[in-house]
Structure 1
Amino acid sequence: MSELPLNPRSPLLPDRHPEPDFFVADIFDATPKGDQASMEHPLFTLATKPDMESQEYRHGDIFVNIGPSPIGRATVHDRDILIYCISQMMARINEGRKVSRTMRFNPHDLMVVTNRDVSGRGYLNFKQALKRLQGTQIETNIQMGGKEQWNVFSLIADATIVRETRDGRMQEVEITLSNWLFDAIEAKGRDLLTLHRDYFRLRKPLERRLYEIARKHCGHQKSFRIGLQRLQEKAGSQSSIYEFRRLISKIVSDNASHQHIPEYDFAFDGDFLDIYRREEGGALPSPAKRGLIVSDSARERAKKHAKGWDIYALEAEWRDWVTSKAIEVQNADAHFVTFAKQRGPYKR
């Protein structure tokens, strides 16, 4: 029997700019920061196609009503632009320089820092993102900068292409942030959190939301638990609860194999997600190093024996079990299929 590969392809996007050019170096060094409000609450859509639906979100006394722009709601990936602006402004404040709501920069620098494509399509996507950020309307009473008040605003007040090349590539743009977002910057970072730079390499919008929720709620605690329905509300997912459970199970399984979501590990039993802060230097060896990688063909075989079970949740349970019992696994595929056989079909 052939050995399983111990180094399967990482779910992370490739590092498109591993060595930023000399002129971008200072900009690249600015620590990525995001506002806590949009990390905790679903201000951005998870959709990868135009999302033309309005959304309402409530939690306790907090409410958020979101209306789409003419080309759809602002996406999780559009948020990169705001993270870049916030990060650059905070870096200037920390250097003792003054900042205003309006910021001028080269889009190429932003694309390098946020690991975006710098082709012609990349510039077109950047322009579309600006339209969605400006056109998405948000009504909320979320407190920002210590101010408790009702607000209705767009995420950016306006955007201007100041200079572009003959072939239409933007060389300089000017963006004015909303007062609501700028309040977080003026509060000297009290409403901001530092993000890991690999955040920009997370491929799936839901992976980014899981990281944001983990960073906001777990932070520097050792762990945080959240129920599936509450997690779905916070993530802003419009999927059915069954589909959302499957998506979370898959991400948790992938992260167990690759630890690609920075700083945090997850355990999921189908009803609750446990988030654990990954201890620096003290984390368990990755599943790949422990020989706990299951192939797709083994999952298919396991499904036949454990009909009705979420195969990824079952895989996560198996992995936790063999780890907690310190079981030596010689063949992960065979061991997992046997585990599925013993579990048998799901009984309601």
Structure 2
Amino acid sequence: MASEVSIPSKFRSPLLPDRHPVQDFFVCNIFDAAPKGDMASMEHAVFGLGTRADTRVRRYEHNGAWVEIKPSADGLATIHDRDVLIFCISQLIAAINEGREVSQCVRFKAYDLLTATNRMTNGRGYKLLRGALERLAGTRIVTNITTGSKEITRGFGLIESFEIVRETREGRMQEIEVKLSDWVFNAIESKEVLTLHRDYFRLRRPIERRIYEIARKHCGRRKQWSISLDLLQKKCGSVSTLKDFRRRIRRVVELDEENDHMPDYRVRFVPRGYGKCELVVFQNRGTIPAPTSSQGPRAEIPELAPDTYHKARLACPGWDVRELEKQWREWIEVSGAEPPRNADAAFVGFCRKWASRR
């Protein structure tokens, strides 16, 4: 593979080059898979935003959920290391959608992962992939975040283990086997995942990848969504000062205004006004495909039966079931999940889970 020409930063596009334009996205040996990210780690600051080894222990808390992250001597798993999880999640979700049996152990060709995630396929690309596997396996997490209606409060790795099945004489791995953590696998089985834009893998800056994930999780298909700058910093897991974080976000906004390069959402900045906080605003570009089923366009969720609200109040006493219904409908819309076949039973089940978690 030819080496990439070095171009002065002021002339570079904010997107990486599309290194494999002639191939379909996420082409695997058995099936094609759209890129998917688990919603829990899209919501919470699990991955580091730096490129240097970071061995600091981190703890984040928000709305009753907390995450404690303990890196290994190799450093914290980074937002670019997350590509491995996205690749594995995407394959398993595609298999589930085809009615296939899946397990926590995923075997794939290293080359397929590198091309699917727009990485270099030279020796350096394979070396960086090995480092990513080591950091993913070494980073340990303790959390009370719920995935698949299960609250896991024990320690676990982002991946439990990995094995390089074959390696060439030149030192390039050929096949890899990864065992996913219970936390990630529960999210896959429950389909608590969202589809990502292909250009996610072309974003140069870690901060751009992270704010895209946050927007994809919270804005979804809505026309617009905004978040205060200080809360965005917390969700990003940035350890820089607010002043430096503001500067980085402003740079992302400037580049997006010049190039329209951020996937799915425009990013804009609203400076502090009198009595108001600084806001980062995400505007939907209308590029997220509408969910479809094998029967055709995605069906609407029907109105619930009057008796369903009575059952919901019994399942979730003391809560405003109309507000819960609004949140339930928004969750299905944002996540892109197919409408339930029995909406009444699904809503009552949602209320039971809501009550059990509180």
Name the TM-score class by shorter chain: 0.7 to 0.9
Residues 149 and 170 of structure 1, relative CA distance in 2, 3 Å threshold: closer
Which letter maps to 2:61? R
Tell me the SS of whatever aligns to 2:83. Answer: helix
Distance 2:172 2:267 in 1: 42
Which letter maps to 1:84? F
Deviation at 1:115, TM superposition (A): 0.2
Residues 93 and 268 of structure 1, relative CA distance in 2, 3 Å threshold: same
Task: Provide Cα deviations, 1:22-43, integer angstroms capped at 9, x if missing partner.
Answer: 9946678310000011111100
Matched, 1:185 2:183: no
Distance 1:251 1:221 in 2: 21
Task: Provide Cα deviations, 1:113-166, integer angstroms capped at 9, x if missing partner.
Answer: 000011111111100100000000111000001112413110000001111112
1:78-89 matches, cutoff 5 A: 78-89=81-92
Matched, 1:209 2:216: no
Counterpart in the other structure of 1:111: 114
Distance 1:24 1:274 in 2: 34
Tell me the SS of whatever aligns to 2:185. Answer: helix
Counterpart in the other structure of 1:94: 97
User: Structure 2: which 5+ residue stretches go unaligned?
Assistant: 1-10, 272-277, 289-358
**Is the CA contact (8 Å cut-off) linking 2:152 and 2:183 kept in structure 1?**
no
**Is the CA contact (8 Å cut-off) linking 2:75 and 2:139 kept in structure 1?**
yes
**Is the CA contact (8 Å cut-off) linking 2:25 and 2:198 kept in structure 1?**
no
Task: Provide Cα deviations, 1:45-99, integer angstroms capped at 9, x if missing partner.
Answer: 0011111111110002100000111110000000000000000111111111111
Q: TM-score, normalised by structure 1?
A: 0.75
Deviation at 1:184, TM superposition (A): 0.8
> Among the aligned pairs, what percent are the same residue?
54
User: Structure 1: which 5+ residue stretches go unaligned?
Assistant: 1-7, 282-348
Counterpart in the other structure of 2:36: 33
Counterpart in the other structure of 1:313: none
Counterpart in the other structure of 2:266: 265
Distance 2:255 2:102 in 1: 41
Residues 114 and 236 of structure 1, relative CA distance in 2, 3 Å threshold: same
Distance 1:173 1:267 in 2: 40
**Is the CA contact (8 Å cut-off) linking 1:20 and 1:28 kept in structure 2?**
no
**Is the CA contact (8 Å cut-off) linking 1:69 and 1:131 kept in structure 2?**
no
Deviation at 1:280, TM superposition (A): 4.9
Residues 198 and 29 of structure 1, relative CA distance in 2, 3 Å threshold: farther
Tell me the SS of whatever aligns to 2:147. Answer: coil
Distance 2:122 2:131 in 1: 14
**Is the CA contact (8 Å cut-off) linking 1:12 and 1:260 kept in structure 2?**
yes
**Is the CA contact (8 Å cut-off) linking 1:39 and 1:216 kept in structure 2?**
yes
Distance 2:246 2:154 in 1: 33
Matched, 1:156 2:159: yes
Matched, 1:138 2:145: no
Deviation at 1:269, TM superposition (A): 2.1
Counterpart in the other structure of 1:176: 179
Which letter maps to 1:103? V
Which letter maps to 2:85? L
Residues 227 and 28 of structure 1, relative CA distance in 2, 3 Å threshold: farther
Distance 1:21 1:94 in 2: 19
Deviation at 1:279, TM superposition (A): 3.1
Distance 1:40 1:275 in 2: 16
Distance 2:25 2:218 in 1: 37
1:183-332 matches, cutoff 5 A: 183-187=186-190, 189=191, 191-270=192-271, 271-280=278-287
Residues 112 and 205 of structure 1, relative CA distance in 2, 3 Å threshold: same
**Is the CA contact (8 Å cut-off) linking 1:53 and 1:68 kept in structure 2?**
yes
**Is the CA contact (8 Å cut-off) linking 1:13 and 1:203 kept in structure 2?**
yes
Distance 1:246 1:147 in 2: 39
Counterpart in the other structure of 2:70: 67
Residues 23 and 210 of structure 1, relative CA distance in 2, 3 Å threshold: closer
Residues 227 and 175 of structure 1, relative CA distance in 2, 3 Å threshold: same
Distance 2:141 2:129 in 1: 21
Residues 23 and 205 of structure 1, relative CA distance in 2, 3 Å threshold: closer
**Is the CA contact (8 Å cut-off) linking 2:69 and 2:139 kept in structure 1?**
yes
Distance 1:247 1:21 in 2: 33
Task: Provide Cα deviations, 1:172-202, integer angstroms capped at 9, x if missing partner.
Answer: 1110000110001111x1x100000110000
Q: 1:47 aligns with which of 38, 50, 57?
A: 50
Deviation at 1:220, TM superposition (A): 0.8
**Is the CA contact (8 Å cut-off) linking 2:137 and 2:157 kept in structure 1?**
yes
Q: CA RMSD in A?
A: 1.9
